[in-house]
Amino acid sequence: MPRDSWIPVMVQRSTLTLLLSLALVGCEGANPSTSNAQARTLPPGPTKPVGPVPAQSIDASRRTAITAAVERVAPAVVTVQTETVQKVPVDFFEYFMGGRTGERRNAGIGSGFVVRSDGIIVTNAHVISGATKVSIGMRDGTSYDATVVGIDETNDLAVVRIKAKDLPVAPLGSSSTLIVGEWSIAIGNPFGFVLGNSEPSVSVGVVSAVGRNLAGRGDGGGIYVDMIQTDAAINPGNSGGPLVNALGEVVGVNSSIYSPSGGSVGLGFAIPIDRTKRIVEDLLDHGAVRQPWVGIRLQTPDVQSAREAAAVGAIVARVVPGSPADRAGVRAGDQVIAAGTRPVKNPFDWEARLLDLRVGEQLPVTVRRGGRELRVTLQVADAPEVSAPKVTVLRELQLVSLTDVIRQERGVASNAGALVYRVSDRIRDEIGLQDGDVIVQVGQSRVNSAEAASAAIDRYGARGPVYVVFERNRQYLQTSFSLR
C-alpha cells in the first residue's frame, strides 16, 4: 500500500483508540457506590447469564404461518422443462456439403403445480408454447415426460399430464376473498438452469392489489386483466408456479412481471385461481376452452395512455345481430356500467368480466342509455365459430366458413372467406397462418367458404406451390407453401 494512503488510516485508528481509552478511564474513575441516582437505575436480581434458551422454544418461535403454508404447498410444486426446435440457416461448411437449413434446439424452464394426484399439472401457456418436448422435474430429482392436455393462450394457462400416481396435491383456495395487504408467497424455480437445483424456492410479500389490468403485454400473448399484484419476488422461471396465501392455499398462478431490467422490481402478477379452476375444468373435459360470447363490441378509446383508457367508460360500438346482447335489447351507444355485481368503468373491466364467464350462464348487465339505467340479462353462448361446421385441411388446419355473425363479431373487412379456427404450431411456423386469419384467395381463385378453400388448396397443391391471400387485422397478406 502506498505510504501516503496508509498514514491517514493509521492516524484515524490511533485517534479512535485514544478516544476509547479516555472514555474507559473516565468510567473507571467514577465510583458507582457514591452515586445514588446510578444505583437506583440498576436492574434488580442477578447479573450473571441465566443460561441458553431451550431448543424447543427456539424451534417453536421459528415456525410461522409462512413456514406452515410452504410445507403444505411446496411438495406439489414442479419444474417444467421444455425443448423447442428452431429452423436456422446452415453454417458455412454445411452449405458446401449440400445443406440448406439446419436446426437449433433451445431449452426453456418454468414452474407448475399438481392439482390432481394422478399427474395433472397446471402451468402457464407461454411456458410450453411451441415446445416439441415437455418434461416435469419433481423436487426429489425424478423426471417425467409430459403430454399437453390443453392450452388456453387467451388466459395464459395450460394443463399437462404425467404418468404418475399418488402425487402430493396443492390445496386450491379462492381469489375472490383476497385482502390487500395479506401475506402472499411465490413458490417456483426461478433461474433454474443457473442454480441447478430441483427443489422449489420461496419468496414472500403481500397482496399489493387485486383487479389489476396490464395494458402492455407480459411474457405470453394472454389478456392480462383482473390480475393479482404482489411484491413477492417473481423472476424468470417462476412462471406457472403457485401464489399462496398464509393458510397454505393456492390463490393464483404466477404469470408475469413488470421489469425494465428483466428481474423482479416488486411488481409481479398472478392469474386468479377462481378463473384458473374454470379453465382447467374446460381443458380436462374438452381439450379446449369454451370461449364465452355475448356479441358486444366496445368502442376503442382514442387515448394516449393506459391511465386515460381506464377512465373512458365502456361504450358499446356495435351489437352483433342475433347475438345474446341483441336478443336482450342492448344497443350501440349504450354505456355498460355494471356486469353482475361488479362495476364496469372501462374496457379492461368488461374484458375481465368476460373471462370469468361460463357458457350457459346468465349475466345481468346494467347499461346507461339517455340518462336512464336499464338492467338486462344476457344468456352467455359459445362463440359463433365454435358451433360452426369445421373443415380440416393438411391434417393440422381447421377452417370455418365466414358468416355475417362471425364477420361482425371479429371485425373482419372481407365479406366472404374461410376463417382459420385452429392451426398447429408447425403450420403457424412454416406457413405463417394464425388463428383468426381469414383466407380470401387461393391461387387465382376467390374463396367464399371453408369447403372452397380446402378444394382450392388440394387443386393447386397437386400442381406446385400454393399461394394464399389472407386477412389479418383488416390488412391483406400472402404466403405460399408446397404440399409435396
Residues classed as catalytic: 126, 156, 239
**Residue 157: burial class (beta carbons within 10 Å; 0-12, 13-18, 19+):** buried
Name residues whose C-beta falls within 8 Å of residue 105's C-beta, 6 or more positions apart in sequence: 83, 84, 85, 86
Give Cα separations from 269 to 252, 298, 361, 436 (angstroms): 9, 26, 28, 27
* Partners of 84 in beta bridges: 106
Do residues 355 and 340 touch, judged by C-beta distance below 8 A? no
Beta strands in 239-284 (DSSP E): 242-244, 250-257, 268-272
CA angle, 387 then 391 then 396, to 5°: 110
Residue bearing cell 500500500: 1
Which is nearest to 431 in space by CA: 473, 462, 468?
468
- What is the rounded distance in angstroms from the CA atom of residue 224 to the CA atom of residue 275? 12
Q: Which residues contact 257 (CB under 8 A, 6 or more apart)?
A: 218, 234, 235, 264, 265, 267, 268, 269
- Read out DSSP for 415-470? SS-EEEEEE-HHHHHHT---TT-EEEEETTEE--SHHHHHHHHHHHHTTS-EEEEE
DSSP assignment string, 356-371? T--TT-EEEEEEEETT
Alpha-carbon distance 107 to 38, whole Å? Answer: 70
| Apex 86 CA angle, 85 and 89, nearest 5 | 135
Helix (H) or strand (E) holding 8: helix 3-29
CB 410 within 8 A of CB 323: no
Asked if residues 225 and 352 have their Cβ atoms less than 8 Å apart, the reply is yes
Q: How far is it, in rounded angstroms, from Cα 318 to Cα 307?
A: 24
Q: Which triple of cell numbers denotes residue 212? A: 389489476
